[in-house]
Structure 1
Amino acid sequence: MLRTAGTIYREWGLRYLLAIGAEHFIIRALADARSPSYWRRTETFHDRILDTDIGHYDYPRDPFELRYVDPAEIRRFSGRGSTLWENAMYEIGEVRDGEWDIEPYEGPLDDPELGITFADTLEETVLYRSLEQHFDDGTPWEDTEFVQRMCEIIHGSNALAWHGSSTCDDVTQRCAYLDSLYNRIKTEGFRSQRELQQRGEEPPRDYLDTLRSEILVDVGRDGEFLLVDGRHRLSIAKILGVDAVPVVVVVRHKHWVDKINSDPTSMAAHQELLVR
Structure 2
Amino acid sequence: MPLALHPPLQPQNLVRAIRAQVPRKALRDVRNRLAFGKAAPLSDELIYIDPRAVTHRYIPNPNQGAPRFRRSHSGHIATGDWDLSVAPLTGNIKEEAIQQHFLEGVPWEQTALFAKLSRDIAEKGMVDECHSVDELRARYERMDRLYDEASRTGKLLPKNALPDYFRREHGGIFVHIDRNGRAIRSGGGMHRFAVARLLGLTEVPAQVGVVHFEAVKNGLLAAYRRQS
Specify the alignment match of 2:47 in structure 1: 67
Deviation at 1:191, TM superposition (A): 1.7
The code of the aligned residue for 1:146 comes to: L
Distance 1:177 1:121, change over 3 A: farther
The match for 1:224 is 182
- Stretches of structure 1 that go unaligned for 5 or more consecutive residues are 1-25, 33-45, 105-119, 262-266
Q: Is the 8 A contact 1:130 1:144 kept in 2?
A: yes
Cα distance, 1:154–1:255 mapped onto 2, change above 3 Å = same
- Of Structure 1 and Structure 2, the greater helix share is in 1
Residue 98 of structure 1 aligns to a residue in which SS? coil
Question: Residues 159 and 165 of structure 2 are in contact (CA less than 8 Å); yes or no, is this contact kept in structure 1?
Answer: no
CA distance in structure 2 between the partners assigned to 1:138 and 1:49 by the alignment: 45
Paired residue for 1:134, among 82, 101, 109? 101
1:56 to 2:35 alignment: yes
Structure 2 unmatched ranges of 5 or more: 8-24, 61-65
Identical residues among aligned pairs (%):
21
3-state SS, counterpart of residue 249 of structure 1: strand
TM-score (norm 2): 0.71
Give the Cα separation in 2 of the matches to 1:141 and 1:30: 36
Q: What's the CA shift for 1:96? A: 0.6
User: 1:57 is paired with a residue of what secondary structure?
Assistant: helix
Q: Distance in 1 between matches of 2:118 and 2:27?
A: 47
**Higher relative contact order (CA closer than 8 Å, sequence separation 6+):** 2
What is the CA–CA distance in structure 1 between the aligned matches of 2:189 and 2:177, rounded to whole Å? 15
Q: Which has the larger Rg?
A: 1
2: CA distance between counterparts of 1:225 and 1:63?
16
Please state how far the C-alpha of 1:48 moved relative to its aligned partner: 10
Offset, 1:170? 3.7
Contact 1:123/1:129 (<8 A) preserved: no
CA shift in 2, pair 1:232/1:27, >3 Å? same
Offset of 1:183 from its aligned partner?
1.3
The corresponding residue for 2:68 is 82
RMSD across aligned positions (CA): 3.2
Q: Residue 206 of structure 2 aligns to a residue in which SS? A: strand
